Amino acid sequence: MPNTQKEREITKKGNPSHPRGAEGLQMLTRMNQSHVEVTNWGLSHLAIKHPKRLLDIGCGGGATLARLLDKYPKAQVLGVDASSLSVKTSKGYNKDSIYKGKISVLKASVEKLPFDDNQMDGIVTVESFYFWPNPVENLKEVFRVLKTGGQFLIIADIYDNGQLSKEALENIAEFQLHNPTKEQFFDYFQQAGFSYFTFHTKAETSWACVEGWKA
């Protein structure tokens, strides 16, 4: 989320829930840089052995797709985003890997993922869960396309821990972010069908990584 007034104005015009226009491109470019640390920390919890297919929901500027491929170079990595600008930006960021057939990016929403049941060994979403329109139903859609034995991660740099800064609370209000508590996340995962889930945090941050497995 934006830290300065200028960044806030760019984010507001660029629309973080559905990036668009010149400001949206600036925002996606900034997020590729500003989300590096929380993304790397979150992906450290991805523990799938020899995955064939991985999916990033809300792939934004495309940096997470590249990190997934770096972590699992033999996997096919797919990204989806409901924003045409995000799809274009992700494709540009990963053009060499797309040319080699290692990464694919599609325009699609978490509300209706364009995949058959039980297709993905692992699924991640980074800094996008805030904007999912119906958390439980959307998680059911994630669960549907995840393979039995597959792992899913929600990675976020804030969650409702009761100790968020004034700036974070202002961002939540201004951009209408859905920001659950740990207990609410667990309730969502349980309703969606996940039989095992856990919650990771990092000391001295407000970061969260919610991990679920499909039994």
47-106: per-residue pLDDT in tens? 999 999 999 999 999 999 999 999 999 999 999 999 999 999 999 999 999 999 999 999
- What residue ranges define each of the domains in the chain, with the CATH number in brackets? 5-213 (3.40.50.150)
Asked if 60 contacts 24 with a C-beta cutoff of 8 angstroms, the reply is: no
To the nearest 10 degrees (0 to 180), the angle between helices 5-14 and 21-34 is 120
Q: What is the pTM of this model?
A: 0.96
Residue where the block lists tokens 């507001």: 12
Q: What is the pLDDT along the chain (215 residues), one digit of tens a residue?
A: 666 778 878 888 989 999 999 999 999 999 999 999 999 999 999 999 999 999 999 999 999 999 999 999 999 999 999 999 999 999 999 999 999 999 999 999 999 999 999 999 999 999 999 999 999 999 999 999 999 999 999 999 999 999 999 999 999 999 999 999 999 999 999 999 998 999 999 999 999 999 999 99
3-class DSSP state of 133: coil
What whole-number distance in Å separates Cα of residue 180 and Cα of residue 10?
Answer: 25
Asked if 152 contacts 194 with a C-beta cutoff of 8 angstroms, the reply is: yes
